[in-house]
């Protein structure tokens, strides 16, 4: 068992596809919340093998894409403060903020390092005691406990020059905000597998209960997604809406208790700005009082200047599921992965990038 | 962004481990999965194991899916 190849088997895929075709009678619209699922769906051409009864929609589950310009601008302003080293995951570098991007300020002298892990950022802080190392904390519940662990590690190792800019986002609250707006009508939700590995299945229950939407937690291999769609179809055809786990090898109903404990120890919920969605209550995490000396926003005087949005970019509408990249007049012309205008084209998990890379954009 | 990949734990030292990911050995952190043992497969996200993969559940899922595939084969 290697946990990957087995879940890419074409034999299993054929079985699931034919069963989905047999069972699906009712017209239904499913949203994949997570950008990781968007990539699997496009890379393996899953939309094309599903019956006409099923419509697939991409959701807001890309942390880079949903980061609002006000927050992005803070990171870019921080990078320009002398003796600050910015550490971040790669996808953030090219995202255009209101005035510039991290990559651009890096080219003009700011010290920005792409890291694979917060462990690298901690080591960097230890090796550069006269500098301040700021980690740009973006990500969902999958990443937040890791940032929490890095703070506890910094305490343990007495590293005093490590800071985080917390721009974490929480998934269930934003789904609630999208459903409350009533803009999109959904019948099924493909729930994010690795967010659920941390939070478990219970935090999704309100979606099935209050909105009558079927929910299935999925893994990221093509067989996982097909199995998830099969389970959603079964719920729809039997008139049920509940939360089920398709990704049982990776997700326990209770989540990862240790990760949740660390997250609660270090962070508390606060409101956040989401691109295209606006402010959502309790959808972000800020450092608790005891850990505020790690907060870059409190430690430095940040002046991000006024916020501007890229003209003509409809990332916000795409993230809410009300438009697709094909509705954007810039798609594939002025905006490409090489010269991206909005974050949904920059991020490897953004909808615009998936449409562009996997061809769907050029058919219709 | 929430990408996590399976890794096999080879050696544990305190809260860190050496794990094999696609043929490459990497150091990972076990802060979030202190109960992980040598020989376990874990899901690794940005250098941290975020969960232990359940081999029994994986086998059960594959068994179920194989049944579906066989049934579809018979019907076609
Ligand atoms: S194609 Fe580019 S400009 Fe248009 S919505 Fe996507 S990222 Fe924004």
CATH code (residue A175): 3.40.50.11750
> How many domains does chain A fold into?
3
Q: Do A149 and B32 touch (CB under 8 A)?
A: yes
Across the interface, of B6, B59, B70, the residue whose CB is closest to A2 is B6
Are A85 and A223 within one domain? no
Distance A66 CA to ligand 1 centre (A): 13
Across the interface, of A1, A19, A227, the residue whose CB is closest to B58 is A1
What's B15's domain CATH number? 2.30.30.140
Structural domain containing residue A113: 68-168+256-299
Local structure of residue A182 (DSSP, 8 states) = T
Q: Assess whether the C-beta atom of A315 lies below 6 angstroms from ligand 1.
A: yes
User: Of A55, A15, A57, which is closest to residue A327 (Cα–Cα)?
Assistant: A57
Are A211 and A233 within one domain? yes
pLDDT on residue A360: 61
Q: What is the DSSP string of B13-49?
A: ETTEEEEEETTEEEEEE-TT-TT--TT-EEEEETTEE
Residue A133 contacts residue A161 (beta carbons within 8 Å): yes
> SS3 helix, strand, coil % of chain B, rounded to 5?
30, 40, 30
Which residue is closest to B35 within chain A, CA to CA?
A258
- What is the residue with the minimal CA distance to atom 3 of ligand 1? A313
Across the interface, of B4, B46, B51, the residue whose CB is closest to A118 is B46
For A35-62, what is the mean pLDDT?
94
pTM, full prediction: 0.95
Provide the terminal-to-terminal Cα distance of chain A, rounded to the nearest Å: 41
> Which residues of chain A make contact with B75, given a CB cutoff of 8 A?
18
Q: What is the mean pLDDT of chain A?
A: 95
Tens of pLDDT, residues A321-339: 999 999 999 999 999 998 9
Residues 6+ apart with CB under 8 A from A225: A32, A37, A40, A41, A44, A46, A190, A218, A219
Q: Assess whether the C-beta atom of A95 lies below 6 angstroms from ligand 1.
A: no
Are A237 and A269 within one domain? no
> How many domains does chain B fold into?
1
Within-domain flag for A176? yes
Are A198 and A52 within one domain? yes
Q: How many residues belong to chain B?
A: 76
Q: Which comes out higher in pLDDT, residue B76 or A92?
A: A92
Structural domain containing residue B46: 5-75
pLDDT on residue A362: 46
Are A185 and A219 within one domain? yes
Q: Do A347 and B55 touch (CB under 8 A)?
A: no
Widest distance between CA atoms in chain A: 65
Which residue is closest to B57 within chain A, CA to CA?
A249
Tens of pLDDT, residues A9-18: 999 999 999 9
**B23 Cα to chain A: minimum distance (Å):** 11
Residue A33 contacts residue A283 (beta carbons within 8 Å): no
pLDDT on residue B72: 87
> Which residues of chain A make contact with B50, given a CB cutoff of 8 A?
142, 145-146, 194, 197-198, 256, 259
Are A194 and A161 within one domain? no
Pocket test for ligand 1, best of A96, A328, A334 (most atoms within 8 A of CB): A328
pLDDT on residue A364: 36
């Amino acid at each position: 068992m290697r946990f990957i190849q087995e879940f890419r088997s074409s034999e299993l895929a054929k079985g699931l596809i034919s069963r989905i075709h047999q069972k699906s009678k009712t017209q239904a619209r499913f949203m994949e919340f997570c950008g990781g699922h968007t990539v699997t769906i496009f890379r393996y051409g899953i939309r094309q093998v599903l019956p006409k009864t099923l419509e697939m929609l991409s959701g807001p589950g890309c942390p880079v894409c949903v980061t609002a310009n006000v927050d992005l601008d803070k990171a870019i302003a921080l990078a320009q403060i002398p003796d600050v080293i910015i550490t971040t995951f790669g996808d953030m570098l090219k995202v255009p903020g209101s005035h510039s991007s991290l990559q651009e300020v890096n080219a003009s002298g700011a010290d920005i390092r792409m890291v694979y892990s917060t462990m690298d950022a901690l080591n960097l802080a230890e090796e550069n005691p006269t500098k301040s190392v700021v980690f740009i904390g973006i990500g969902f519940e999958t990443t937040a406990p890791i940032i929490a662990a890095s703070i506890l590690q910094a305490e343990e190792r007495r590293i005093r020059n490590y800071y985080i800019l917390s721009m974490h986002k929480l998934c269930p609250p934003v789904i609630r905000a999208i459903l409350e707006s009533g803009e999109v009508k959904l019948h099924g939700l493909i729930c994010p597998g690795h967010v659920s590995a941390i939070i478990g299945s219970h935090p999704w229950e309100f979606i099935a209960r209050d909105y009558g939407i079927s929910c299935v937690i999925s893994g990221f291999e093509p067989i996982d997604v097909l199995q998830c769609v099969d389970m959603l179809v079964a719920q729809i055809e039997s008139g049920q809406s509940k939360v089920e786990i398709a990704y049982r090898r990776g997700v326990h109903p209770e989540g990862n208790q240790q990760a949740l404990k660390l997250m609660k120890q270090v962070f508390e919920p606060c409101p956040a700005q989401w691109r295209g969605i606006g402010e959502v209550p309790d959808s972000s995490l800020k450092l608790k009082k005891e850990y505020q000396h790690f907060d870059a926003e409190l430690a430095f005087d940040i002046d991000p200047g006024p916020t501007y949005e890229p003209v003509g970019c409809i990332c916000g509408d795409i993230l809410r599921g009300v438009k697709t990249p094909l509705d954007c007049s810039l798609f594939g012309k002025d905006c490409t992965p090489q010269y991206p205008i909005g974050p949904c084209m920059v991020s490897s998990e953004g909808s615009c990038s998936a449409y562009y890379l996997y061809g769907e954009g050029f058919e219709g | 962004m929430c990408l996590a990949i399976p890794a096999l734990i080879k050696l544990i030292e305190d809260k860190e481990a050496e794990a094999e990911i696609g043929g490459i050995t990497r150091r990972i952190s076990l802060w979030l999965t202190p109960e992980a043992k040598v020989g376990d497969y874990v899901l690794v996200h940005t250098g941290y194991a975020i969960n232990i993969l359940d081999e029994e559940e994986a086998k059960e899922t594959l068994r179920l899916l194989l049944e579906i595939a066989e049934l579809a084969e018979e019907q076609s």
